[in-house]
Amino acid sequence: MSARCPALLIAAPASGQGKTTLTAALARLHSRQGRTVRVFKCGPDFLDPHWHELASGAPVHSLDGWMTGPEDVAARLYAAAQEADLILIEGVMGLFDGSPSAAELAQRLDIPVLAVLDAGAMSTTFGALVYGLVHYQPGLRWAGVLANRVATEHHADLLQAGLRDPALWQGALQKVIPAGETSLLPERHLGLVAAHELGDALQRLDAVADALAQTPLGQRSWEQWQEWAVDFAAPAAKPAQEAIQPWLQGRTVAVARDAAFSFIYPANLDCLQAMGAQLVFFSPLAGDSLPPCDAVWLPGGYPELHAPALMANQAIQEGLRAHWAAGKPIWAECGGMVALCEGITGHDGQFAPLWGLLPGKAVLQKRLAGLGMQQLATDTRVLRGHTFHYSRLDSPVPVLTRSSRPGQAVEEGKGEALYQHGSLHASYFHAWFASSPRTVAGWLGGVGA
């Protein structure tokens, strides 16, 4: 049994070429034309999906052969193909980077690849790079290439002339930048600024969608899009989520969600609900107090950018302290953990106090302090996820265990520490809940977990 739907995997030779911009603009263009678009992101990412959700109007899920698993990938794409007119998948880093890579996903599922290249500082060499991408891994199904950050129409002509296979050309996009800014989608130390933080985010996407509509890719008829249809097979094996038990039945889990706590996989929320949890959301930045609950999840985000506002909310601090003092569980992840510590020293050397429930202080680094896929072994279970942060935490709190690289043993002083402070569990580790839902349920006080 299968479901057929046009699909593209948007890839590039490296990060920073314009994958997110093109994917979101393409989703916006087709959404404006009344089509149902479902967008996915390869690999772990919390920020790019905000733009894709804005463009498509639907939640964006991650696909990864290791972290989410091939059965989960197959199940999500099959479900999307049953309801969508178009599926778009943004790759991660370069097309062939990582293991498994975006190219491996495309080849395994026969998804056409559309490459976007930053051509701002080249002309005929564009053709050589495209030739290398197309011929590096035989067996890929190619939809074509699109040149990004092109200066003029003459520049586009030079790029197109450099292609060995003219049929690959899907057009060129010139720079679309709001007045007074240096980029269309601004960035900060962890990646793109989330779409919900910019009041004109939709107008930015519309500007690129308008430009994309003038390219050969944007002018393809819907009949031509059917040439890129894919038969997505129903997964033969049950995805990990089907092993979930009602460990959180009857329990209310309060989830922080705002600009300071925005690193949330929609699939993690789905997992909590599948275990029976009732979810309530609160915004510390908006001045919310802690709602009545049995457990708290503080996701990652940017507490360092909002320290004064977080400190101004006395009600949430008092509520969290009372919750913890009563022995009720808290899971604090990356930025959520930092928010609970005594404070953080920024790039300017200034110390900003934070909530102080977790003994220890953080320091923001100028270089990445943690990056990559990680696994966290607890008893006989292995929770999969990743790490991505610039700060370091110095804490006297006991370390229960540490995460490690996929398939590797825990090494002293390496990986991410899992701290336990009373009923609080905290780590820089970002967990993919469905990889070991029982572990997460245990951290949140689940019955029988």
What's the residue count for the chain? 449
Burial class of 327 by CB neighbour count within 10 A (0 to 12, 13 to 18, 19+): exposed
Q: In one letter, which amino acid is 35? A: R
The structural domains of the chain, ordered by start, are 2-233 (3.40.50.300), 240-443 (3.40.50.880)
Place of tokens 């009949």: 223
The single residue of 5, 293, 334, 341 carrying the catalytic annotation is: 334
For residue 98, count other CB atoms closer than 10 A to its CB.
Answer: 20
Q: Is the pTM of this model over 0.95?
A: no
Query: Annotated catalytic, 334?
Result: yes
Max intra-chain CA distance, the chain: 70
In this structure, are residues 263 and 300 in contact, taking their beta carbons and an 8 Å threshold? yes
Task: Using alpha carbons, select from 173, 168, 277 the residue that is nearest to residue 215.
Answer: 173
Crossing angle for the helix pair 19-32 and 201-212, to the nearest 10 degrees: 80
The string of DSSP letters for 18-40 reads SHHHHHHHHHHHHHHTT--EEEE
**369 φ, ψ to 5°?**
-100, -15
| pLDDT (tens place) for every residue of the chain, 449 residues total | 899 999 999 999 999 999 999 999 999 999 999 999 999 999 988 888 989 999 999 999 999 999 999 999 999 999 999 999 999 999 999 999 988 899 999 999 999 999 999 999 999 999 999 999 999 999 999 999 999 999 999 999 999 999 999 999 999 998 765 555 545 565 544 455 555 665 678 888 999 999 999 999 999 999 999 999 999 998 876 655 457 899 999 999 999 999 999 999 999 999 999 999 999 999 999 999 999 999 999 999 999 999 999 999 999 999 999 999 999 999 999 999 999 999 999 989 999 999 999 999 999 988 877 889 999 998 778 999 999 988 999 999 999 999 999 988 888 778 999 999 999 999 999 999 999 999 999 999 998 77
